[in-house]
A and B are shown apart, each in its own frame.
Chain A
């Protein structure tokens, strides 16, 4: 196994000694969460096709612990919204988000999900952040798989450094309340 090129995840900061390693619970939990983000793809258009390429063998999103793609809110941590969200679709997207259990993260992939993109019309929601909170925006129209992978890695950075108490903090409650999500 000496010639294998497997990259191991670096351990968090901590005290290393003979037979023990002491660190913060927050960091360990963050490490575990960040390296097993289970995606829930909400793909409505071309960006969804790019995501399929991202999941496929060449780009292999499974390397990041995102092997299990579920098309259900159960056990999913990472909602990837890919494609144009019309105003008619907005309540459904919101319902999917509400059905996910905490902790949950959202990536808006591509111009349409982030801002409505070229569809500056009466029927298209001008960015999904009008209805649900978003953690990472991936630019591009459509973004290449590398960009989606980059978005996931950015999200991993966020997740790694997130405190275990964040979801019960008053700021977070206030954020959800601003979207009328209880």
Chain B
């Protein structure tokens, strides 16, 4: 008896009503959206429910949507995996662009500790309640969050590299 999408959807809607929405099958992964303030009970429920048993957090990452309205500028994506049924689940949570913050799930999945640090490092999303929220990959002196779209890929003050020798023109970079 495989874990069906409808079962997951029914259980979540029953428990969380309007805080989970936009259920859809995206290629081979069932995905949904959730509201940011309910993320802790939602993840706990998915992990501990005897039928759902999403015991494993595959990945947690951020996305920046600069073209969205200000309430949906950032997203945090949770990929959960039920190993018993080999079923995967994707949860997307949209955050506001002015002050992106969301509750940390590092007390539920210990593996998310570093993933959240990485997301903070690259997107500047604040994970409330994280035990040690500091940069993990970039240097500590950095002030920007480089995966945000407004951040330039290259150093504009470069003097040692002539664009002509790199096939770069004003239109293609």
CB neighbours of A120 from chain B (8 A): 154, 158, 161, 166
Does A121 lie within 8 Å of B153, measured CB to CB? yes
Q: Is the Cβ of B155 less than 8 Å from the Cβ of A122?
A: yes
Is A87's CB within 8 Å of the partner chain B? yes
A122: chain B residues within 8 A (beta carbon): 144, 146, 151-155
Min distance, Cβ B72 to any Cβ of chain A, angstroms: 26
A115 at the interface (CB under 8 A from B): yes
Interface size of A in residues (CB-CB distance below 8 Å): 10
A126 within 8 A of B: yes
Assuming the A-B contacts A87-B139, A88-B139, A122-B146, are A127 and B153 also in contact, with contact meaning beta carbons closer than 8 angstroms in the complex? no
The residues of B that contact A70 with a CB separation of less than 8 Å are none
**Chain A residues, Cβ within 8 Å of B151:** 122
Q: Enumerate B142-167 residues with CB–CB distance to A below 8 Å.
A: 144, 146, 151-155, 158, 160-161, 166
B138 contacts partner chain A, Cβ-Cβ < 8 Å: yes
CB of B160 within 8 A of CB of A115, answer: yes
**B138 with A88: CB separation less than 8 A:** yes
- The reply to whether A123 and B146 form a contact with Cβ atoms under 8 Å apart is yes
| CA of A19 to CA of B132, assembled, Å | 74
B160 touches A126 (CB 8 A): yes
Instruction: Name the A residues within 8 Å of B144 (CB-CB).
Output: 122
Q: Min CB distance, A141 to chain B, in Å?
A: 14
Chain B: CB-nearest residue to A124: B155
Give complex CA distance A120, B154 in Å: 6
Q: Which residues of B contact A127 (CB under 8 A)?
A: 160
A110-150 near B? 1/0 per residue, CB < 8 Å: 00000100001111001100000000000000000000000
Instruction: Looking at the assembled complex, report how far the CB atom of B137 sits from the nearest CB atom of chain A, in whole angstroms.
Output: 8
Query: Which A residues touch B166, using CB under 8 A?
Result: 120
Taken together as a complex, chains A and B put the C-alpha atoms of A122 and B142 apart, in Å, by 10
Instruction: Pull 8 A–B residue pairs with CB atoms less than 8 Å apart, ordered by A.
Output: A88-B138, A121-B154, A122-B146, A122-B151, A122-B153, A122-B154, A126-B158, A126-B160
Listed in ascending order, the chain B residues whose CB lies under 8 Å from chain A are 137-139, 144, 146, 151-155, 158, 160-161, 166
Other than the given A115-B160, A120-B158, A123-B146, 19 more pairs (CB < 8 A) read A86-B139, A87-B139, A88-B138, A88-B139, A120-B154, A120-B166, A121-B153, A121-B154, A122-B144, A122-B146, A122-B151, A122-B152, A122-B153, A122-B154, A122-B155, A123-B138, A126-B155, A126-B160, A126-B161
In the A-B complex, list the 9 residue pairs whose CB atoms are closest, starting with the nearest. Answer: A88-B139, A122-B146, A87-B139, A120-B154, A123-B138, A126-B160, A121-B153, A122-B155, A120-B161
